[in-house]
Amino acid sequence: MQAEHREVPVPSGEQVEIAQAAIGFNFFDVLQRRGLISENEPGRVMGIEGAGRVTAVGPRVTDFAVGDRVGYLKSQGAYAGARLIESDLLFPLPDDVSFEVAAALTVKGSTAWLCAVRLVELEPGQTVLVTTAAGGVGSLIARLAAHRGARVIGSVGSDAKRKVARENGAADVTVGLNDAIDQVAWLTNGNGVDIVFDGIGADTANRLLESGTVRKDGTIVSFGAGAGFPRADPDAIARRGAAVLAPQVPNYVQTASDLRGCMAKVLALYRAGAFGEISPTVYPLSEAPLLHDQVERRAVSGISVLVA
Ligand SMILES: NC(=O)c1ccc[n+]([C@@H]2O[C@H](COP(=O)([O-])OP(=O)(O)OC[C@H]3O[C@@H](n4cnc5c(N)ncnc54)[C@H](OP(=O)(O)O)[C@@H]3O)[C@@H](O)[C@H]2O)c1
């Protein structure tokens, strides 16, 4: 990554110009920069999520005006002080939600909502395992599950992150997948947890199925790819009699109305306290390379945002 100066063209058609107040950092950005999502394109502006104020609108924009507060979740080109974006990719940002909270919660909050509300029914008294319980999405899912009255077992990658997982509502914290498998067996009398939310990916679902870490008739929601894209073997799923879901937010949030409806639900959860206090770590945009480096060394926890 390198910083450079570019002029923002005058918006045309349904384009909107935004002065960006906060930019969401996502693990996706690291995967993309490393060429694991798609081929690297020279000159590509990193980032897919941000929040700010409308500063100009194209001639066919009807739903936003100069001065409006807005956010977006899936438009390449977020690591910038200002940018153009199609108006149907924006949602209106209410005055009671800061730009930093919006940049923290748009992708990660909608993922947490999809995984832990839309796709499964979390009930008080259930036991859930959240891997990457100190990461961005993992933090929000752990907090949401604890808020719903579930008993949360959090798994993290190092001792240093134990405290963060506890602050995210985990009653028990394990370090590494082997420890998670052993602790779940012990804590559930060998029955397994009701639901696993997994951000590690690669062969994690297979290991959780084969070890009985998810209960029979339970569910693994495989949302992330910290160690590689998730693969679950249909035979392992069948042998355990469990379900494995692999949701991707862009497949559920496709239209402007999907986006605005989803964000209304995410912000309602935030206002109801389901995500607890959101206070992301803030980096200047010029330090994006440092943030990526720290994330790749697994030295970062919680949610990070960039400010221009
Ligand atoms: N399904 C969707 O629609 C959707 C939407 C958004 C994000 N995601 C995915 O969700 C995951 C989390 O995203 P995020 O933005 O919240 O990321 P994040 O805050 O950077 O968290 C990623 C976590 O992954 C863990 N990790 C990193 N490298 C690992 C490795 N080699 N082996 C095992 N664990 C590793 C780290 O936890 P420890 O160091 O504690 O192990 C870290 O806390 C990413 O894989 C992202 O692509 C999916």
Within-domain flag for 88? yes
pLDDT band at 40 (very low <50, low <70, confident <90, very high): confident
128 and 218 part of one domain: yes
207 and 146 part of one domain: yes
241 and 288 part of one domain: no
Nearest CA to ligand 1 atom 16: 136
Look at residues 250, 259, 133, 239 and name the one whose alpha carbon lies nearest to residue 196. Answer: 133
The pLDDT value given to residue 289: 97
Within-domain flag for 5? no
In total, how many domains does the chain have? 2
Q: How far is the CA of 224 from the centre of ligand 1 (A)?
A: 6
Contact 15, 51 (CB under 8 A): no
In this predicted structure, the answer to whether residue 241 has a pLDDT above a threshold of 90 is yes
- pLDDT, one tens digit per residue, over 253-301 is 999 999 999 999 999 999 999 999 999 999 999 999 999 999 999 999 9
288 and 215 part of one domain: no
Atom of ligand 1 nearest to the CA of 111: 5
Segment 43-50 mean pLDDT? 96
What does residue 44 show for φ and ψ, rounded to 5 degrees? -65, 135
User: Mutate which of 33, 34, 132 to test ligand 1's pocket (most atoms within 8 Å of Cβ)?
Assistant: 132
Pick the last residue of a domain from 228, 246, 264.
246
237 and 130 part of one domain: yes
Contact 201, 230 (CB under 8 A): yes
pLDDT band at 218 (very low <50, low <70, confident <90, very high): very high
**Cβ partners under 8 Å of residue 264, min gap 6:** none
The pLDDT value given to residue 100: 98
The pLDDT value given to residue 254: 95
Ligand 1 and 226: CB distance under 6 A: yes
In this predicted structure, the answer to whether residue 216 has a pLDDT above a threshold of 90 is yes
267 and 169 part of one domain: no
pLDDT band at 68 (very low <50, low <70, confident <90, very high): very high
20 and 90 part of one domain: yes
The pLDDT value given to residue 38: 82
Determine the structural domain holding residue 293 and report its residue range.
15-107+254-307
User: Considering Cα of 109, then 94, then 102, then 276, what sign does the dihedral take?
Assistant: negative
189 and 221 part of one domain: yes
The pLDDT value given to residue 41: 86
The pLDDT value given to residue 174: 98
- pLDDT, one tens digit per residue, over 106-161 is 999 999 999 999 999 999 999 999 999 999 999 999 999 999 999 999 999 999 99
Q: What is the CATH number of the domain that holds 215?
A: 3.40.50.720
127 and 231 part of one domain: yes
In this predicted structure, the answer to whether residue 235 has a pLDDT above a threshold of 90 is yes
What integer best gives the mean pLDDT of the chain?
97
172 and 191 part of one domain: yes
Contact 308, 78 (CB under 8 A): no
Within-domain flag for 128? yes
Q: What is the CATH number of the domain that holds 69?
A: 3.90.180.10
Pick the last residue of a domain from 196, 211, 246.
246
Ligand 1 and 302: CB distance under 6 A: no
Within-domain flag for 2? no
Segment 46-55 mean pLDDT? 98
Within-domain flag for 140? yes
- pLDDT, one tens digit per residue, over 9-37 is 999 999 999 999 999 999 999 999 999 98
What does residue 277 show for φ and ψ, rounded to 5 degrees? -80, 135
The pLDDT value given to residue 137: 98
Within-domain flag for 131? yes
Atom of ligand 1 nearest to the CA of 304: 19
In this predicted structure, the answer to whether residue 39 has a pLDDT above a threshold of 90 is no
User: Considering Cα of 284, then 91, then 12, then 52, what sign does the dihedral take?
Assistant: negative
Nearest CA to ligand 1 atom 17: 27
- What are the beta bridge partners of residue 245? 221
